[in-house]
């Protein structure tokens, strides 16, 4: 049990690990001036990028030149799905490699985005090595780009698992310290600039099942505020007293994107809900996004770590508090763990501008 070491969290051995790095370059006329067209620009830059990919032994690199935001998910089959605002990459890091260029005919991108998907086994153990390879590639590529533009780099890592894995027969667990990215990389001789931002948080996706709707709504209801208010109240009650005070609920049908407020502000579009938190702020924060007249298929709940949750041991204690809160929340809603998944994702992000 986790209680014998409060600085480790014990997650099921079938928990999945993902890592990807996202490089962003703002485009301007200096970048496009040396090419016959935007399409020609993207083709030539992709050729440069994919040649460097081979040189630095990176196996899955994607260039996005249509201003869509990449979303990365684990899947046993490799495939890519585009919507108006997103590109979703589904892949299994152990097996899937690839390279791709994503453009829209006649469209000139405001930003170039390069997605570096981690591959192989033991992603967390090899994360610093992967990060270093990406930085080396980007440094070399930057020298080839017109005007040598600034490159903003984000490192995204996550662990995902079913909160009810044990109820479904997955009894074995593995203990994680969940060290912060900056000290973890320093210990592996991967230098990061002092000027950077970090954010660590947890999301849980709750399907709004028939039984939940029946419990909180009357037949034929067109005002769903009671359902959302009850979910919000029970979620905050489950987190109360556990030093979990930076919270959000997103139940407006949009995909939540969590960022550090140092870089990004709260905004949305037709598909994405961007949420900004300041992990260094001592004040509590509760953000709610839902519409009384709109019933959605699932609700997303977010818990953001404070700066002091990153102890010398890592985020293990924080994650134990999160698990305790989520289990309390699930009990209040009478969720049958043997028949329903409650997908938990633990995220660690670090961002900085490449020197």
What is the full per-residue pLDDT of the chain (355 aa) written as tens digits? 444 678 899 999 999 999 999 999 999 998 999 899 999 999 999 999 999 999 999 999 999 999 999 999 999 999 999 999 999 999 999 999 999 999 999 999 999 999 999 999 889 999 999 999 999 999 999 999 998 999 999 999 999 999 999 999 999 999 999 999 999 999 999 999 999 999 999 999 999 999 999 889 878 788 999 999 999 999 999 999 999 999 999 999 999 999 988 777 788 889 999 999 999 888 899 999 999 999 999 999 999 999 899 888 999 999 999 999 999 999 999 999 998 999 999 999 999 999 7
Four-CA torsion 252, 79, 133, 25, nearest 10 degrees = -50
- Note the pLDDT of residue 2: 43
Q: Is 89 exposed, middle or buried (0-12, 13-18, 19+ CB in 10 A)?
A: buried
Q: How would you classify the pairing of strands 173-176 and 9-12?
A: antiparallel
- Note the pLDDT of residue 4: 63
Strand partners, 113: 24, 64
Q: Is 349 exposed, middle or buried (0-12, 13-18, 19+ CB in 10 A)?
A: buried
Nearest to 96 by CA among 124, 117, 81, 70: 117
**Alpha carbon separation from 235 to 27, 67, 225, 291, 302 (Å, rounded):** 42, 35, 15, 18, 10
What lies within 8 Å, CB to CB, of 312 at 6+ separation is none
- Note the pLDDT of residue 1: 42
């Amino acid at each position: 049990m986790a209680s014998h070491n409060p600085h480790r969290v014990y997650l099921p051995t079938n928990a999945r690990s993902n890592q990807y790095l996202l490089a962003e370059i703002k485009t301007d006329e200096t970048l496009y001036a040396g090419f016959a067209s935007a399409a020609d620009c993207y083709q030539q830059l992709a050729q440069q990028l994919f040649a460097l990919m081979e040189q630095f032994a990176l196996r899955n690199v994607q260039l996005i030149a249509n201003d869509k935001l990449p979303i990365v998910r684990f899947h046993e089959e490799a495939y890519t799905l585009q919507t108006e605002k997103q590109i979703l990459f589904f892949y299994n890091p152990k097996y899937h490699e690839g390279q791709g260029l994503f453009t829209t005919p006649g469209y000139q991108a405001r930003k170039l985005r390069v997605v570096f998907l981690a591959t192989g086994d033991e992603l967390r153990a090899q994360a610093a090595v992967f990060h270093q390879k990406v930085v080396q590639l980007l440094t070399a590529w930057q020298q080839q780009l017109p005007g040598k533009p600034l490159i903003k780099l984000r490192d995204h890592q996550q662990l995902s698992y079913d909160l009810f894995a044990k109820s479904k027969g997955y009894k074995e667990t593995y203990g994680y310290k969940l060290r912060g990215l900056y000290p973890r990389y320093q210990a592996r001789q991967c230098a990061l600039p002092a000027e950077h931002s970090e954010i660590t948080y947890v999301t849980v996706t709750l399907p709004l099942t028939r039984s939940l709707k029946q419990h909180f709504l009357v037949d034929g209801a067109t005002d769903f505020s009671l359902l959302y208010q009850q979910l919000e109240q029970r979620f905050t009650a489950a987190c109360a007293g556990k030093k979990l005070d930076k919270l959000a609920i997103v139940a407006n049908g949009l995909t939540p994107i969590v960022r550090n407020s140092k870089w990004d502000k709260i905004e949305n579009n037709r598909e994405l809900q961007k949420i900004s938190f300041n992990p260094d702020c001592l004040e509590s924060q509760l953000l709610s996004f839902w519409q009384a007249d709109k019933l959605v298929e699932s609700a997303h709940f977010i818990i953001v770590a404070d700066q002091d949750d990153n102890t010398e041991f890592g985020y293990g204690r924080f994650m134990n508090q999160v698990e305790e809160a989520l289990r309390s929340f699930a009990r209040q809603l009478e969720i049958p763990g043997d028949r329903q998944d409650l997908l938990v994702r633990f995220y660690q992000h670090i961002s900085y501008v490449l020197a």
